[in-house]
Structure 1
Amino acid sequence: MAANLLRIATHEAENQLALSLRQAFLLLESNLRPPFPLTIPTSEEYQVLNCAILYGILTQPHHAKTHIKHLHAVVSDGYAFFVNLLVQVTNELLEKLVDSARNQLLWVTGEMVDVSAVGFDALLVSLLRQVVGGDFTDGNLWLCFEVATLFLSKWDSLLEEEPMVLTSGLYAFLRLLADHCRVSSRNSKLEALVRLEIEFCLKMLREQFHLCLKVGRDVIRLLQDLHHMPEFQAVWRDLVLNPTVFGTSGFLGIAQFYSTRTSSRYFLLRIPPMMETHLRFLLTQVKLGGQKRHQAWFASKYLFSPDRETLICDIVRFICCTHHPTKEIIQSDIIPRWAVIGWLLKFCRKNYVEANAKLALFYNWLFFDERADKLMDIEPAVLLMVCSVPKYVEITNSLLEFLFLLVDNYDMEHKEMITRGVLSSFNCLISKGVIHTFDVLTSSGVIFPLLRERLATFLLGMKAGIAKELRPIGPS
Structure 2
Amino acid sequence: MVSSFTQGASHEAENPIELSLRQAFESIEPKLRPPFSLTILNPDEYLELNRAILYGILCEPHFAKTHIKHLHAIVSDGYAFFVNLLVKIVHQLYPKLVVLVKNQLIWVTKEMVHVLGVGFDGLLVSLLRQIIEGDFSDGNLWLCFELANFFLDKWNYILEEEPLVLSSALYVYLRLLADHCRSPNNEKLGTLKRLEIDLCVKIVREEFHLCLKIGRDVVWLLQNLFHVPEFRAIWKDLVMNPSQFKTPEFTDISQFYCIRTSSRYFLLRITPEMESYLRFLLTRVKLGQQKRHQMWFTRKFLSEPSRETVIVDLVRFMCCAHHPPNEIIQSDIVPRWAIIGWLLKSCRKSYVEANVKLALFYDWLFFNESVDNIMNIEPAMLLMVHSIPKYIDMTHTLVEFLLLLVDNFDVERKDIIIKGVLSALRALIHKGVVLSIDVLTSCATLSPVLKEGLVRLLNVK
Same fold (TM over 0.5): yes
Equivalent-residue separation in structure 1 for 2:405 and 2:48 (angstroms): 57
Equivalent-residue separation in structure 1 for 2:151 and 2:22 (angstroms): 30
1:96-107 pair list within 5 angstroms: 96-107=96-107
Alignment of 1:261 with 2:260, yes or no, is: yes
SS at match of 2:76: coil
Partner of 2:144: 144
SS at match of 1:182: coil
Partner of 1:2: 2
1:320-359 pair list within 5 angstroms: 320-359=319-358
Matching residue's letter, 2:10: T
Partner of 2:415: 416
Q: Is the 8 A contact 1:58 1:104 kept in 2?
A: yes
Partner of 1:370: 369
Q: Is the 8 A contact 1:320 1:378 kept in 2?
A: yes
Matching residue's letter, 1:325: P
1:85-100 pair list within 5 angstroms: 85-100=85-100
Q: Is the 8 A contact 1:389 1:440 kept in 2?
A: no
Equivalent-residue separation in structure 1 for 2:98 and 2:270 (angstroms): 23
SS at match of 1:199: helix
Equivalent-residue separation in structure 1 for 2:250 and 2:407 (angstroms): 25
Q: Is the 8 A contact 2:364 2:377 kept in 1?
A: yes
Matching residue's letter, 1:398: T
Partner of 1:118: 118
Equivalent-residue separation in structure 1 for 2:416 and 2:443 (angstroms): 29
The percentage of counterpart residues that share the same residue type is 64
- For each residue in 1:381-420, what CA deviation from the matched residue of structure 2 results, as whole angstroms up to 9, or x when unmatched? 0011111110101010100000010000011111000000
**Pairs aligned (count):** 461
Tell me how large the CA RMSD over aligned residues is.
Answer: 1.0
Partner of 2:156: 156
Partner of 1:319: 318
Equivalent-residue separation in structure 2 for 1:222 and 1:40 (angstroms): 52
SS at match of 2:435: coil
Deviation, structure 1 residue 308: 0.7
Alignment of 1:210 with 2:215, yes or no, is: no
Q: Is the 8 A contact 1:2 1:22 kept in 2?
A: no
Higher deviation after alignment, 452-461 or 343-352: 452-461
Matching residue's letter, 2:204: L
Q: Is the 8 A contact 1:8 1:14 kept in 2?
A: no
SS at match of 2:37: coil
Q: Is the 8 A contact 2:134 2:308 kept in 1?
A: yes
- For each residue in 1:169-221, what CA deviation from the matched residue of structure 2 results, as whole angstroms up to 9, or x when unmatched? 000000011111111x2321111111111011000110000111111000011
Q: Is the 8 A contact 1:114 1:157 kept in 2?
A: yes
Instruction: Provide the TM-score with structure 2 as the length reference.
Output: 0.99
Task: Give 5+ residue unaligned stretches, structure 1.
Answer: 466-476
Instruction: Provide the TM-score with structure 1 as the length reference.
Output: 0.95
Matching residue's letter, 1:453: E
Matching residue's letter, 2:167: T
- For each residue in 1:283-328, what CA deviation from the matched residue of structure 2 results, as whole angstroms up to 9, or x when unmatched? 0111001010011111111110111110010000000000000010
Partner of 1:194: 193
Partner of 2:436: 437
Q: Is the 8 A contact 2:112 2:120 kept in 1?
A: yes
Equivalent-residue separation in structure 1 for 2:453 and 2:186 (angstroms): 45
Equivalent-residue separation in structure 2 for 1:276 and 1:458 (angstroms): 37
Deviation, structure 1 residue 453: 1.1
SS at match of 1:369: coil
Partner of 2:128: 128
